[in-house]
Amino acid sequence: MPRLCRYTGPMLFRITYHTEQHRSAARGMSRKAWNFCDAEKRGSFVAHDDGVQLVEQSQEVSELLISNLEETLKLARTLKIAMPEEGISLHHDFEAVFGDVGPCFVDTLVVAKERGWTAIIDDTALRLFATMDGISSAWSQVILQLARNQGVITQENYSTAVEAMLSGNYRYVSIDEETIRFEWEHGELPDRLGQFLDQLALPTNDKWSVAQLIGPSLLQIWGTSGGEDRCVEYASFFYRELSARIGTTAAAKLLDDAVSAAVARAQRNRRMSALPALLKSSSSINSPAMLAVDINKQVVEIVQATIGNVVKLAVQNCDAQLNC
């Protein structure tokens, strides 16, 4: 057995376990960072359902994180500081856990509680305690998404921020359809796109969520110039990249689910546009659910004849190519 010492980054391997005892031990190890006595290897163990994974962190990434922290501190010094007021208390369990750690944890939630603000917290445990005390909270990526959606920052800026979060070993990082489609269409940073796909392919991800990311994007692309050919390219791209990460069988199943996700999105969009007029023009008492039956059926046929056929063609073309 290799000698363990305090972990200091790039390297990636996986340990599998077959009993609950091994699972518990692995999860215990995931709370610490170790190094196999190699000064060039740096990272941390992360436990998931299939094993334990060592997530790499290079010296360059460490220096980048330090640099980002310095920039954050410079920005923080320009902001107005909201001080907590006397008379506001938090849940007693929170006080017991964090009271001796530092006033910043307590003060942050006190300020949010007394002003009714949403606390931006990247720590899961801290958000849990905030919820116990009735304090609204969100993690920082939500703010980035809002900023992008409202045009405050560009998609390029957003993608760069998400890449930094992944490089910083954030446990929860969301990759949405806009980001993947943007990276695919521009293709200027293939390594970043590959990093995003690695995140999507993690075994702990909900497969339907990934399908919902692919399917609606195919709908969007279909409605653009050269939509059918570009849809084939996009579906082929996903099948190829996912096959390399999770295998062809799982990738084909995921793309099949993506067609179902496209159907669900198209049905919702069609109901939202068609139902109000149908309800107004109907002379009989019909529930929206009954009126939606025909709409849903029509949409299934349309999406299967378009997006469904595109996905089938993409899978067939890729399977027919030895290097796909």
- The backbone region for 41, taken as left when phi is positive above 0, alpha when psi lies in -120 to 50, beta otherwise, is beta
Burial of 169 (0-12, 13-18, 19+ CB in 10 A): middle
Which helix (H) or strand (E) is 240 found in, with range? Answer: helix 227-246
Q: What is the secondary structure of 86-151 as a DSSP string?
A: TT----HHHHHHHTTT-HHHHHHHHHHHHHTPPEE---HHHHHHHHHTT--EE-HHHHHHHHHHTT
Amino acid, single-letter form, for residue 127: R
Local structure of 197: helix, strand or coil: helix
What gap in Å lies between CA 60 and CA 42, rounded to an integer?
A: 11
Q: Could you read off the pLDDT tens digit of each residue along the chain, which spans 324 residues?
A: 333 333 333 333 333 333 444 444 444 444 444 444 455 556 665 555 566 666 666 677 677 767 777 777 887 788 777 777 766 777 777 767 766 666 677 788 888 888 888 888 888 878 888 888 888 998 889 989 999 999 999 999 999 999 988 887 777 889 999 999 999 988 766 788 999 999 999 888 889 999 999 999 999 898 888 888 999 999 999 999 999 999 999 999 999 999 999 999 988 888 877 767 666 666 556 566 666 787 888 889 999 999 999 999 999 988 887 555
**DSSP assignment letter at 271:** H
